[in-house]
Amino acid sequence: MKKIRPGQRHGYQPPETKCVKCRKKKRVYQRVRGEPICRECSNLPKWRCAKCGQKKIINYHDQSQGPICLDCYDRTYAICTLCGQVGEIVQRLDDDKLICRSCYQPPLHRCSCCGRIAPLARKNPALCHTCYGRLRYKNNHKKCPKSH
């Protein structure tokens, strides 16, 4: 069974573009000076995965096993305390309650750029998803957008 990658849930397929480094058609992970770069060619540090032994970008650091890549990382599936369905558990509360991805509500904070109260895409500086996307993809890292 093929793993569902982040960004591909609910049938969405992210667009693919030719990476300027490896020349393969892949999902764009970042843009450097406007040029598309895939995740494998990005400047992210690569570590040896504790499960497969290959040198890859690490998705998770397990305290008992060590660094684990995205392909080897097993997500926890259990019965959600709120909806009663089996799903990927993304939050464990102090009173042993398990929250699945569809029931999880991210905490709300004030965006330092636009002032909206919304879930954050970045904590320092505090940026909502809209402002973070505008700053990241428009190559405008010096100014925040005035309004939404």
Give per-residue pLDDT as tens, 88-130.
888 888 888 899 988 988 889 999 989 999 998 888 888 888 8
Q: Where are the domains of the chain?
A: 15-69, 106-148
Its pTM stands at: 0.48
pLDDT higher than threshold 80 for residue 7: no
pLDDT higher than threshold 70 for residue 138: no
Give per-residue pLDDT as tens, 8-62.
555 666 778 888 988 888 888 778 888 888 877 887 778 898 988 998 888 778 7
DSSP conformation letters of the chain: -PPPPTT-GGG----EEE-TTT--EEE--EEETTEEE-TTTSS--EEE-TTT--EEEEEEEETTTEEEETTTPPPPEEE-TTT--EEEEEEE-TTS-EEETTT--PPEEE-TTT--EEEEEETTTTEEHHHHHHHHHTT--S---S--
Give per-residue pLDDT as tens, 71-83.
888 778 889 999 9
